[in-house]
Amino acid sequence: MSKAHFGLIGLGVMGENLVLNAESNGFSSVVYNRTYSKTAEFLDGRGLGKQITGASDLKDFVDKLERPRRILMMIKAGPAIDAVIDQISPYLQEGDLLIDGGNSEFRDTERRVLDLESRSFGFIGMGISGGAKGALEGPSMMPGGTKSSYLAIESLLSKMAAQVEDGPCVTYVGPGGSGHFVKTVHNGIEYGIEQILAEAYDLMKRICGMDCSQIADVMAQWNKTEELSSYLVEITEICLRKKDSDKEGDIVEKILDKAGQKGTGLWTVMSALELGASVPTIYAALNARVLSSMKEQRILAESILHGPSQKNLVSDNTSIDTASIMDAVVLSSIASYAQGMELLRIASNDYNYNLDMPSIAQIWKGGCIIRSRLLKRIQDAFNLNPELSNLLLDPWFSDQVNRRISGLAEVVAAAAENGVPVPCFSSTLDYLNSYRTGRLPQNLVQAMRDCFGSHTYQRVDKEGIFHTEWLS
Ligand code: 6PG
């Protein structure tokens, strides 16, 4: 019997869909799952009549694959990956390749690449985005590891990936854990945009008095614009239109307001803090999830703490229109991408990843959760200037900021006056105002540091390091 082209470990929804995707692109496959009953169920169900066989143990699985073996692991990130590597490596031979397609922490991937390569195997850490549908129909894939390992799977991945006008949504990202790092940052941007759309919904509901169906109509309009046309706006409309199964009311209004998280948003922010990258919009989205999970405390606080009192307000500008909310959504989305790309640029230098920014924008244009028309503009911006330090400095993006910042400011002001939290919008406004300010008040911070701790400071009028005896 001829050997299979491709092996998959882990028959969760993503694993099943990816192997069906590979098979439909002409790659005969063999599958393995820790519990064989799951394998049997898949082979009798969705895998029936396909060029897919099953294996009951890892030796049998490895034996059924042609060499060099190409094995995708779709299992829970963390110790389970190391456990499977330990179990399968006795059966592997020189040149065989393991691919981790989960949301692994990039430092774990760095370690695994070094470990596996020291044993003459290949290891690719590959971010995969697109959810279950994307996995089946074409995800965006972010593989990192050695180039030679990537080349062994390039033809397979190029066929499996989403296709956009300038090619498949996969590329060789870079060495070591770079693929998983790029996926982590993708998810940080994803957190940002999800929260931005949630803030827009909250303002339209609580300040504009709109219901889910009216807000969905606005999302539908936004999805037709170059600035906001995106998968996340598209599914926001779908979520807002969905009725509860009993047809009584909107399902969104019945969902508990506590957002979960699996770690990638946190890792994005941790990396940014470590690398000295400024990601306030993304951080605000992460923190919004943290605060949302404190439901019991919030309920208690609601009866104790009050918002701004309308009668004390200096202005009565407490209402907003959806055009201004669109300004806020556009600029905050742009800020999320700009902050994510900036983090990638800094990490690329620090970790020697040599990331190609236009290629990253390109592979995010299709298949993934943050796919949007804006990514074409982002790709163009980095093609125009590969040394671009921040997307906001590109002419198209700076024009967006200059045209929309007043709208964003109006929205943040109205939200503040109404006591409605808009963490991403207000962080974005502060980010933009800080970034465009040539002189910030950190001169005074430096003075204080020098006053109490002799930390020294530099001057604007002459070179050198200075200290003042502040208290004498
Ligand atoms: C994707 C998603 C996917 C997953 C997120 C959800 O790109 O397909 O990012 O990987 O749905 O990890 O993350 P949270 O549970 O942390 O929101």
The pLDDT-based confidence of 312 (bands split at 50, 70, 90) is: very low
Summarize pLDDT for 68-79 with one digit per residue, the tens: 999 999 999 999
183 flagged as catalytic: yes
Shortest-distance Cα residue to atom 8 of ligand 1 = 129
Share of the chain above pLDDT 70, in %: 98
* pTM of this structure: 0.96
- Would you give the end-to-end CA distance of the chain in angstroms? 89
Which tokens go with 465? 């390091």
From 147, 195, 188, 453, select the one nearest 329 (Cα to Cα).
Answer: 195
Specify the ligand 1 atom closest to the Cα of 263.
Answer: 16
Query: What separation in angstroms does the CA of 111 have from each of 98, 268, 361?
Result: 14, 19, 27
The reply to whether ligand 1 has any atom less than 6 angstroms from the CB of 127 is no
Listed range (47-56, 92-101, 318-327, 404-413) with the worst mean pLDDT: 318-327
The pLDDT-based confidence of 463 (bands split at 50, 70, 90) is: very high
The three-state DSSP-derived secondary structure of 225-294 is CCCCCEHHHHHHHHHHHCECCCCCCEHHHHCCCCCCCCCHHHHHHHHHHHHCCCCHHHHHHHHHHHHHCC
All structural domains of the chain, each given as residue ranges with its CATH number in brackets, are: 6-176 (3.40.50.720), 183-435 (1.10.1040.10), 441-472 (1.20.5.320)
Query: What separation in angstroms does the CA of 264 have from each of 103, 310, 333?
Result: 7, 40, 18
Q: Give residue 232 CA to ligand 1 midpoint distance, Å.
A: 13
CA atoms within 13 A on the CB side of 134: 21
Which tokens go with 399? 């024009």
Summarize pLDDT for 225-261 with one digit per residue, the tens: 999 999 999 999 999 999 998 778 999 999 999 999 9
CA atoms within 13 A on the CB side of 232: 25
The reply to whether ligand 1 has any atom less than 6 angstroms from the CB of 265 is yes
The reply to whether ligand 1 has any atom less than 6 angstroms from the CB of 104 is no
Question: From start to end of 74-227, where are the E strands?
Answer: 97-100, 122-129, 140-144, 163-164, 167-168
The residue annotated as part of the active site, out of 183, 227, 342, 417, is 183
Report CA 112 to chain centroid distance, whole Å: 23
Which tokens go with 427? 């962080």
Residue 311's pLDDT is: 47
